[in-house]
Structure 1
């Protein structure tokens, strides 16, 4: 599975806020060396307004839970829940239908 942005999938207007949430959860010590997409246990997919996953990041469990809270502030909710995984993703963040 691709890590980072998915080629050919529209990047939503809220992506800059997703990037800010990533940096808040895992702030870069050295911006040139920072790579939030490698060496982690779980995959988190982030969907665009059409519900397509446009970005995938690697997270540890603690970071995943923190990211879930940060992205909830943007109106994104995890749709995987207790099922374990959906399409190889342990977290799948989509816009809440109320957003």
Structure 2
């Protein structure tokens, strides 16, 4: 009988950030910096038993869909955290979330 691996050390949760190009390069740089800080804080917490992997800011529906499909195909990924810079890009996430097969 195979041994059941109960450790979550080898798994990842991807930290995805949503924004839009209309906010400009300076704002998007700040969004990336702030979302990296959040992902780093989650990684530093002993309450989070997996590795949180920050991904570059997603600014359009196709990049969101691609991130979801990439997460689906990566056996290390057990889920996603989605953080929105503002609520305005929420509609862009529908296609990606529909394609997602992980929590």
TM-score by length of 1: 0.31
- RCO greater where, 1 or 2, for CA within 8 Å and sep 6 or more? 2
Structure number with greater Rg is 2
Structure having the larger proportion of residues in helix: 2
Normalised by the size of structure 2, how large is the TM-score?
0.31
Larger fraction in strand:
1
